[in-house]
Amino acid sequence: MSGVVFEGPGHFEDHAAVMRRLLPQTAHAMADGSLRGIGWSEHGLSRVDWRAWPPQQAAAVEAFVHAWWDDTLTTPEPPYAVPDAFETCATILNDLVPLLDRLRARPVAEAHVVRCAKTWMYDLITDDSPFSWWYHGGDDYLVATLQSWPAVHAPACLRARNEPDLAIRAELLALPYDARWAHPYWTSPSVTN
């Protein structure tokens, strides 16, 4: 089943119908950690307009994605890397903000904030997208949203988790590109860098 969920829309005559039919098994496999492909391929639900499905079905998809993300955030060692789960949820929902809001609202998620910041920082500091599967318009919205969240919400958490350099780089994301690279941090980073 895993391979089918990650097949491209051209593989099936009615891709949306296949995704609807596989939804119960897919949701179960995502929840128990047995869906191979998370983080390696674009999820089939991100390639269909599931919001146009009958209201109960669309509501079920959205509720499941939020519940799966919430479960990921409250699990110290989830079956999928948190940045991969985030990207999967974001591409399925075509939205980052509710996922980022949930990340901030979870005190248990501090370690996950560190993982996400470490994974995303290299790309975000250079104004690039850390996502492989974001096809919902240009990267400008994605990058701006992902830069503003850690700039505002991550530094205190990162310092509390003994990541002072990562906290400074998160703060630098609030600056325009040239000011970011002209910042004195780059010439005198702490000894932990």
43-94 confidence digits (pLDDT tens): 878 888 889 999 999 999 999 999 999 999 999 899 999 999 999 999 899 8
3 CB burial (10 A radius; 0-12, 13-18, 19+): exposed
pTM to 2 decimals? 0.87
The values of phi and psi at residue 120, to 5°, are: -85, -25
pLDDT band at 21 (very low <50, low <70, confident <90, very high): confident
Give the domain extent around 65.
Answer: 2-187
Establish if 101 belongs to a structural domain.
Answer: yes
Tell me what percent of the residues of the chain surpass a pLDDT of 70. Answer: 88
Cβ neighbours for 175, distance < 8 A, ≥ 6 positions apart: 183
Q: How far apart are CA 110 and CA 103, in angstroms?
A: 8
Looking at residue 177, what is its pLDDT? 93
What percent of the chain is modeled with pLDDT above 90? 44
Rounded Cα–Cα distance for residues 23 and 119 (Å): 29
How many domains does one find in the chain? 1
**Residue appearing with tokens 């350099």:** 165
Has residue 124 been placed in a domain? yes
Select, from the ranges 102-106, 127-131, 189-193, the one with the highest average predicted confidence (pLDDT). Answer: 127-131
Question: Cα–Cα distance between 93 and 138 in angstroms, integer?
Answer: 16
Note the pLDDT of residue 151. 94
The pLDDT of residue 68: 94
Does a structural domain hold residue 171? yes
* Tokens at 125, concatenated: 């500091």
Choose among 79, 83, 64: nearest CA to 122: 83
135 pLDDT exceeds 70?
Answer: no
Residue 58 has what pLDDT? 93
d(CA 130, CA 81): 14
Q: Is 7 within the bounds of a domain?
A: yes
State both tokens at 8: 């491209």
Q: Is the pLDDT of residue 97 over 60?
A: yes
Tokens of 181: 């690279």
Determine, yes or no, domain membership for 192. no
More confident residue, 191 or 89: 89
For the segment 5-16, the average pLDDT, to the nearest whole number, is 71
Indicate whether 166 pLDDT > 80.
Answer: yes
> How many C-beta atoms surround the C-beta of residue 83 within 10 A?
18
User: Is 43 domain-assigned?
Assistant: yes
What is the C-alpha separation between 140 and 83, in angstroms, rounded? 19
Q: What's the pLDDT at 60?
A: 92
In a domain, 52, yes or no: yes
Say if 140 falls within a structural domain.
yes
